[in-house]
Amino acid sequence: MKILFTGDMVGSAGRQVFQRVTNRLRDEGRIDLVIANAENAAGGRGPSPEIVEALFAAGAAALTLGDHAWDDKNLTSLLETEPRLIRPANFPPAAAGRGMTTIETDEGPICIISLIGRVFLDPADCPFRAADRLIGMTKSKTILIDFHAEATSEKIALGRYLDGRVTAVLGTHTHVQTSDETILPNGTAYITDLGMTGPKDSVIGREVEPVIQRFITGMPQKFDTSNKDPALEGVILDIDIKTGKTRSIERIRERA
Ligand SMILES: [Fe+2]
Ligand SMILES: [Fe+2]
């Protein structure tokens, strides 16, 4: 099965390019299933329930979030009731929602786990131990992990820690795609960052000039989301769902 997993979706430009490119890749027979990180899908901030529903209607089989999970307070109740929408599992136990989901396909179940890093991010429980616990709970052979983290070392370390125990460890959060996609020695597919599904002509999704001014002056600026040069970034994984083994990982950047 060919699964497309896309990097942080940013704003309306990101939502549009997501819909157009996934439709085209389906028509071309290049993908069977789509999973998206939607953490910045609303003007660069966390999505509203309406945006989440629109992304499911556009064909996303599951959606992951990140540090922007709580931006829209209306999402809290949907996180409790919608199993296909997950936030990092290593948030405090009392946080709303869930960090793991299983979707059923013709070829078998696919477990998706969301984790968040602890380097240069707000305090969270240990993602390594959370992964151990959740992997022990699922009966699915195919396990995909979205590791939402800043530091490349933390992401590579989690990939190596889980190598051979999960199907894929896919980094998100930086909005910059890395060129290190690989199959690790024990068979786990890995990439440090999937990149961004949003406006490439930007500073990680925002209009360029206010970000420069912020750095030059140190003064607050309004950061509007850019709409220029949208692209979809992510990977296509070719997976044997019954064994959970990855045949290949292909990094993609596609414009509509
Ligand atoms: Fe993001
Ligand atoms: Fe993030």
Domains of the chain in start order, with CATH, are 2-254 (3.60.21.10)
Please give the torsion angle defined by the CA atoms of residues 192, 56, 26 and 199, in that order, rounded to the nearest 10 degrees. Answer: -50
Model pLDDT, residue 241? 98
Model pLDDT, residue 169? 99
Is this model's pTM higher than 0.95 or not?
yes
The 10 Å Cβ neighbour count of residue 63 is 27
Model pLDDT, residue 8? 98
Mean pLDDT of 54-77: 97
Q: How far apart are CA 245 and CA 79, in angstroms?
A: 30
CA 64 – ligand 1 centroid, Å: 11
Between the CA of residue 185 and those of 153, 235, 242, what are the distances in Å?
18, 19, 20
- Give residue-wise pLDDT tens across range 153-196: 999 999 999 999 999 999 999 999 999 999 999 999 999 999 99
CA 152 – ligand 1 centroid, Å: 15
- Give residue-wise pLDDT tens across range 101-145: 999 999 999 999 999 999 999 999 999 999 999 999 999 999 999
Model pLDDT, residue 95? 96
Q: What percent of the chain has pLDDT over 90?
A: 100
Model pLDDT, residue 171? 99
Q: How far is CA 18 from the centre of its chain?
A: 13
CA 79 – ligand 2 centroid, Å: 17
Bridge partners, residue 5, by sequence:
35, 235
Looking at residue 84, its amino acid is R
Between the CA of residue 193 and those of 28, 152, 154, 224, 234, what are the distances in Å?
25, 9, 12, 23, 8
CA 178 – ligand 1 centroid, Å: 15
pLDDT band, very low/low/confident/very high, at 256 (cuts 50, 70, 90): very high
Mean pLDDT of 229-250: 98
Model pLDDT, residue 140? 98
- Give residue-wise pLDDT tens across range 42-60: 998 999 999 999 999 999 9
CA 243 – ligand 1 centroid, Å: 31
pLDDT band, very low/low/confident/very high, at 34 (cuts 50, 70, 90): very high
pLDDT band, very low/low/confident/very high, at 6 (cuts 50, 70, 90): very high
DSSP 10: B
Model pLDDT, residue 38? 98
pLDDT band, very low/low/confident/very high, at 39 (cuts 50, 70, 90): very high
Q: Which ligand is nearest to the CA of 205?
A: 1
Please identify every residue annotated as catalytic: 68
Mean pLDDT, rounded, of the chain = 98
